[in-house]
Amino acid sequence: GVPLQAVGLLYQQGYFRQALDGDGNQLAFYPFNDPTQIPVVPVRTEDGEWLRISLEFPGRTLQLRAWRAQVGRISLYLLDSNDPMNSPADRGITGELYGGGAERRLQQEMVLGIGGYKLLQALGQEPEVCHLNEGHAAFSILERVRSYMRKENTDFGTALAATRAGNLFTTHTPVEAGFDRFSPALIERYLGRWASELNISMAQLLAMGCSHSNVSEEPFNMAWLAIHGSGFVNGVSRLHGKVSRHLFLPLFPRWPEKEVPVGHVTNGVLVSSWDSPESDRLWTEACGKERWREGLQSIGEAMLKVSATDLWEMRSRNRQRLIAWIREQHALNQPATNLLDPNALTLGFARRFATYKRPNLLLKDKQRLARLLTSTDNPVQLVIAGKAHPRDLDGQAMIREWIQFIHEFQLQSRIVFLEDYDLLMASYLVEGIDLWINTPRRPWEACGTSGMKVLVNGCLNLSELDGWWAEAWHADVGWALGDGQEHDADTAWDSHEADCLYDLLEQQVIPEFYQRNAHGIPEDWIGHMRNSMAKLTPVYSSNRMVRQYTEEYYLPMARAVRQRCAGNLAQAKAITAWKATLEQHWPSIHFGNLKTTSDESSYYFGSSPNGVGRLS
Ligand SMILES: *Cc1c(COP(=O)(O)O)cnc(C)c1O
């Protein structure tokens, strides 16, 4: 029920579609997503014309078409440059996600940030709070300032001071290389016009994308722009908040790291998108139909009371449905009946094949893994899926390594590598898998979300203590890998962790799954399931996340923007004047005759214990 709308790009080819050849080489395909075949409609103006947004580019005006997708109560607006009015090159701006070079990327980010904000204005909207999902959207800060300057007839500094309080920047990467950077020359070519419209110099505009040090040599960093233009900044898990305070330290020189103003809101998933029909039935019986619309406290308690029989039946049906689906998918390639066992412990690993996620950690000792997978007493099987970026050759080599392992050890009935991982496939996987494995190199998984999707279905997690799992893990909800420390890309440590992973599987996971009571139910496993479902599902849901953003950010921010704008921008003007005064007198600012006194717990500064301030 939070009034919210979203803006993005309509990618004509999306990311890419994956196929694998017989040797495990990844093939990339780029079929055209015909907008008339996907659930979007053109946005129309009052007189029925298709709404177009125009954007000034060097030597030309780019035309953007606007589409709308209705997602529940939320409108998602998508911009698209594939308009016959644009040049062939410009028509491809919204072609591929993660394709092209720096210039294409800059064009996409201008379309998203500047075009996106213009679109909202064309729809007659002026959002109080703008939530920037990653630095990609940060140009909206400049367009928001520009439109505010016009409306209030004020200068850049005052408009920034007023609107900045209404921008929230959520950072998603734990590595500095993840921030987009552009050369000052490229920025000047594309944004020179914006500098003059904002009535600031190019140097001032470039400074928005720089840390405080040597402005002239730095590339323009979108994360720095986002921080300079936002009142609030957050990371996406507790650990990622900490990592981000470190990454953003250059903007806060000489600050104690823990005081760098970056908070965190751990991500959550929309539970109702990921539960299977069987899980939905079980949760409805336990917690009612409206469970995800109300407070979350009572949900966990009700779940703790569900019987072992009901939980085990749900788990078994979920797994059987996944395996039936996989057999159907594979029916053309091989006799489907001996492909996977509907009653065997099923491990899953599905995510992008990026090296930091170590998708081949399980392959460190191939003999040991093969032994584990060919056991006849306690059968174990593995479902894998994931794409590597078309330019990431290391990631593609890891896919090949899996395919070759399957061939070499004749494991075709025990391991399935599913091609072309996407949301639909993810929905089957997170329903049916018993144990979801994640092996990122700490702290490079900012949050991770697929492990959250499996919770509602009673699947358990075995994961590196990184991202969300570093705060969610407890011995009664699943298994943890690693020592909670960073080891960088140390191959000796990788081998050690691989050994720990095999040990966990051999000594804990597999015996627990196959330890059955008189009714054939694995009681300890069910105990883990019940705790994981009851204690983690509500917490790692988007219900909790949206509530947290609303209460900790959106509402206070909306109040702050109103305050700054009230009384003919009195507060915004005061802030700008104060900054100008500081700047003007900076060289002569010094500490006066500072006196401190102390008692048992505090230091007092100023002349007396009742003086100016107290530090505990
Ligand atoms: C959830 C999801 C992801 C992200 O999973 P991570 O665990 O965060 O890597 C990637 N791809 C698809 C299709 C997903 O559904």
Q: Separation of 435 CA from ligand 1 center, angstroms?
A: 16
Q: Candidates 444, 449, 540: which one to mutate for ligand 1, based on the most atoms within 8 Å of Cβ?
A: 449
Asked whether 55 and 62 are in contact (CB, 8 A), the reply is yes
Smallest CA separation from ligand 1 atom 8, residue: 448
Q: Separation of 569 CA from ligand 1 center, angstroms?
A: 44
Measured N-to-C along each axis, helices 555-585 and 156-164 cross at an angle, to the nearest 10 degrees, of 140
Q: 422 CB less than 6 Å from ligand 1?
A: yes
Q: Separation of 422 CA from ligand 1 center, angstroms?
A: 8
Partners of residue 235 on adjacent β-strands: 264
Q: What is the number of other CB atoms lying within 10 angstroms of the CB of residue 35? A: 17
- Rounded to whole angstroms, the Cα distance separating 441 from 494 reads 9
Q: 385 CB less than 6 Å from ligand 1?
A: no
Q: 423 CB less than 6 Å from ligand 1?
A: yes
- The pLDDT of residue 333 is 62
Q: 174 CB less than 6 Å from ligand 1?
A: no
Q: Separation of 450 CA from ligand 1 center, angstroms?
A: 5
Question: Given the DSSP bridges, would you call strands 5-9 and 74-80 parallel, antiparallel or unpaired?
Answer: parallel
Asked whether 2 and 555 are in contact (CB, 8 A), the reply is no
Q: Separation of 349 CA from ligand 1 center, angstroms?
A: 11
- Rounded to whole angstroms, the Cα distance separating 585 from 547 reads 43
- Rounded to whole angstroms, the Cα distance separating 404 from 248 reads 42
Number of the ligand 1 atom closest to the C-alpha atom of 351: 9
**Residue spans of alpha helices (H) in 517-554:** 523-531, 542-549
Number of the ligand 1 atom closest to the C-alpha atom of 422: 13
Asked whether 330 and 324 are in contact (CB, 8 A), the reply is no
Q: Separation of 241 CA from ligand 1 center, angstroms?
A: 20
Measure the N-to-C terminal CA separation of the chain; round to a whole number of Å.
Answer: 41
Q: Which residues contact 499 (CB under 8 A, 6 or more apart)?
A: 364, 365
Q: 440 CB less than 6 Å from ligand 1?
A: no
69 SS3 class: strand
Cα-based distances in Å from 554 to 376, 380, 388, 549: 55, 47, 36, 6
- The pLDDT of residue 614 is 52
Q: Candidates 450, 453, 466: which one to mutate for ligand 1, based on the most atoms within 8 Å of Cβ?
A: 450
- Rounded to whole angstroms, the Cα distance separating 361 from 308 reads 33
Q: Candidates 17, 351, 422: which one to mutate for ligand 1, based on the most atoms within 8 Å of Cβ?
A: 351
Smallest CA separation from ligand 1 atom 1, residue: 450
State the average pLDDT for the chain. 94
Q: Separation of 437 CA from ligand 1 center, angstroms?
A: 13
What secondary structure does DSSP assign to 135-202, as a single string? GGGTHHHHHHHHHHHHHHT--HHHHHHHHHTTEEEE---SSGGGS-EE-HHHHHHHHHHHHHHTT--H
- Rounded to whole angstroms, the Cα distance separating 449 from 446 reads 10
Q: 426 CB less than 6 Å from ligand 1?
A: yes
Q: 420 CB less than 6 Å from ligand 1?
A: no
- The pLDDT of residue 332 is 62
Tokens representing 552 are 């900790």
540 SS3 class: coil
Tokens representing 574 are 């005061």
Q: Separation of 538 CA from ligand 1 center, angstroms?
A: 19
Q: 392 CB less than 6 Å from ligand 1?
A: no
Smallest CA separation from ligand 1 atom 7, residue: 450
Domains of the chain, start order: 1-20+28-100 (no CATH), 271-540 (3.40.50.2000), 548-605 (no CATH)
Number of the ligand 1 atom closest to the C-alpha atom of 447: 8
Asked whether 307 and 349 are in contact (CB, 8 A), the reply is no
Low-confidence ranges of the chain (pLDDT < 70): 213-216, 331-336, 606-616
Smallest CA separation from ligand 1 atom 2, residue: 450
Smallest CA separation from ligand 1 atom 10, residue: 351
Number of the ligand 1 atom closest to the C-alpha atom of 453: 1
Q: 181 CB less than 6 Å from ligand 1?
A: no
Asked whether 416 and 330 are in contact (CB, 8 A), the reply is yes
Q: Separation of 386 CA from ligand 1 center, angstroms?
A: 9
Q: Separation of 449 CA from ligand 1 center, angstroms?
A: 6
Helix H or strand E segment including 581: helix 555-585
Helix H or strand E segment including 576: helix 555-585
Number of the ligand 1 atom closest to the C-alpha atom of 357: 9
State the amino acid at position 425 in one-letter form. Answer: M
- The pLDDT of residue 294 is 79
Number of the ligand 1 atom closest to the C-alpha atom of 427: 15
Asked whether 349 and 382 are in contact (CB, 8 A), the reply is yes
Q: 421 CB less than 6 Å from ligand 1?
A: yes
Q: 427 CB less than 6 Å from ligand 1?
A: no
